[in-house]
Chain A
Amino acid sequence: MKKYLAILKMQVINNLAYPGDFLGRSVSIAVFLFIFAGLWQTTYIIAGTASINGLTFANMMWYLMMAETIELGRPRTNRIISEQVKNGEVAYILSKPYNFVLYHFSFGLGDGLMRIVINILVGILVTWLLAGPPPSLLGWGMALITMVGAWILHFCMMALIGLAAFVVEETNSFELIYQKFVFVLGGMMLPLDLFPQWLQEIVRVLPFPYMMYAPARLFVKPEFDLFLQMLAGQWFWVGVLVVLLALAYRGSEKVLTVNGG
């Protein structure tokens, strides 16, 4: 276990090697939040109401802040695996005594933690200015707990896509398709509460809401029933995807061809 912690730590140190670049990336969350604030302010004014399907403007902004933090902090494992397959670095990764998938988990988490922390800090600052004070401590607690499962789900999906690189090398297009599913069905652009009832019911049987909607919604409206329901669904999907990932890894190991042989 120690080795995976060491890899995580190494990636944190690696991010600190270029503090300027690292801080620069945090600007994007501020830009997104300003744009969303403009859009939703207009929407609420045109609708002439203080709350849409139970969500106020402030709720909406804090929801989006949490969703953006997760999107920007999710692992980029597929891109890293693609890159390593293309430049042959994967040969080193595979010739060390650790599990390839867990290596990428630690590597991605080291990266993700740094980005999540900086995005939450910048996000709080900007959202507080635009929409008023943040949700209650209970909201924070539920959001942070469900973020763990959400991050793991994202990791499994990105790693599954990344393993495809062993066969096709380039996986960006798969990631784009996946990202659009999360944007729409995961409730990143729009909380699921605003979807028509029938669509909500379909979406809830898919893994996507657990990756984005769960922590963001519980953050602004912490409800105990929903929390348990979301946790259960989340870890059910974690189980499914971990099994899929393990199977996919076993299969892909055999077809791997290292470039430059």
Chain B
Amino acid sequence: MTAIEVNQLTRAFQSKRKAAGLAASARALFQPEYNTVEAVRGISFRMEAGELLGFIGPNGAGKSTTIKMLTGILHPSSGGARVLGFTPWKEREKLAFQIGTVFGQRPQLWYHLPAIDTFLLFGKIYELDDRETQKRIDLLAEAFEIRDLLETPVRKLSLGQRMRCEVAASLLHRPKLILLDEPSIGLDVVAKQHIRDAIRRMNQEEGVGVLLTSHDAGDLEALCKRVIIVNHGQIVYEDKVSNLKRKHLTTKLVEVRYAEEVPANFRLDGVEILKVGRYGVKLRFDTDQTAVDSVLAHLSGVGELVDITISDPPLEEVIAKIYREAAPASS
């Protein structure tokens, strides 16, 4: 079953343009000049029910704008979309019963009150009966480990604690789909891990589909099966996360330590030497150009190996490379 179907979705914004200075400000009063910014330019994609889909791209790529159109908050300039069978901007209230949203940079919990008050309010807003609300709160409190936080005013929670409550709140009404816009922004490693675990658990147990925007490649690796990369309002890459790694993670980083000193004139063809220390070497090579076994054979020929680490470059680098390759010549 298809959860989201997006067809040539486009959204342009008008923004005022004004040169610096007082004279230009005065002129702008009478003759305002507008720039048309195309935040989203003809995006098309599908998402299956229960899928974990990553939607990533740099700032200003059009991620949030797309999410806002999919929740029905923004009307598109052109193009179409169906979310759970609804046209979002025409049937926003009906759709709202079926989806949950978290905009990571903004709180939806009432700031001065304990989170439990917002949970109970949401129960009423989503028309759950009181027993059902309580049951959901119990389940989510356990999944997100927030039982002890529910009665503390939200303003006194740490960012990580608050975000767990925020995401939990968005799941209260058993949505079929949640749209998470940067849920891990500003969180430390442990807090990120916490949120990811809970989201994955809810996806497995309840089959809730997750569309997640992020510029943290870690979210993608930990959570998503498939990824869509956007830049300049267009889709520049769409594939399984495992394929992304296989096809684009072709460089390897190697660190070697030897029992004896490394010869000062250490060299190796087809390999980029990053660092030569007294007992160790750090290098990088592309597996398409240089075979792994020839590199390893050469390295073990240099001396007695004590330790060797072979690693992939961070996914972030890979994604940055995709952005660069896909950058349209016009912008």
Contacts and interface: CB of A to CB of B under 8 A. Distances in A.
Contacts of A91: 68, 71, 73, 101, 103, 106
B14 to A, nearest CB: 9
B125 A6 contact: yes
B126 A14 contact: no
Given A94-B92, A97-B96, A260 B105 contact: yes
Contact of B73 (A14, A95, A98): A95
Contact of A17 (B72, B74, B113): B113
A200 interface: no
Interface stretch (A116-124, A156-164, A204-212, A251-259): A251-259
A95 B110 contact: no
B10 interface: no
B72 A94 contact: yes
Contact of A10 (B64, B103, B117): B117
Contact of A2 (B99, B105, B124): B124
> Is chain B's interface secondary structure helix, strand, loop, or mixed overall?
mixed
A258 B74 contact: yes
B73 A13 contact: no
Chain B interface size, as a band, is 20 to 34
Interface string B14-27: 00000000000000
B304 to A, nearest CB: 57
A88 B105 contact: yes
B153 interface: yes
B241 to A, nearest CB: 26
A25 interface: no
A241 interface: no
Interface in B54-68: 64-65, 68
Contacts of A88: 103, 105-106
A254 B73 CA distance: 9
Interface string A97-109: 1110000000000
Given A2-B124, A10-B117, A14-B112, A95 B72 contact: yes
Interface in A220-261: 253-254, 256-258, 260-261
Contacts, number: 84
Interface string A1-28: 0110111001001100110000000000
A97 B74 contact: no
Contacts of A89: 106-108
A75 to B, nearest CB: 18
Interface in B40-99: 64-65, 68, 71-75, 92-94, 96-97, 99
B13 interface: yes
Nearest to B181: A91
A256 B73 contact: yes
B127 interface: yes
Contacts of B110: 10, 14
A261 B64 contact: yes
A95 B98 CA distance: 11
B4 interface: no
A256 B74 contact: yes
Interface in A72-130: 87-92, 94-99
14 contacts: A6-B121, A7-B121, A13-B117, A17-B113, A88-B103, A88-B105, A92-B101, A92-B103, A95-B73, A97-B97, A99-B93, A256-B74, A257-B74, A261-B68
Given A97-B93, A254-B75, 19 more contacts: A6-B120, A7-B121, A10-B113, A10-B117, A10-B121, A13-B113, A17-B113, A89-B106, A91-B106, A92-B108, A94-B92, A95-B71, A95-B73, A97-B97, A98-B93, A258-B68, A258-B73, A260-B64, A260-B105
Interface of A: 2-3, 5-7, 10, 13-14, 17-18, 87-92, 94-99, 253-254, 256-258, 260-261
Interface of B: 13, 39, 64-65, 68, 71-75, 92-94, 96-97, 99, 101, 103, 105-108, 110, 112-113, 117, 120-121, 124-127, 153
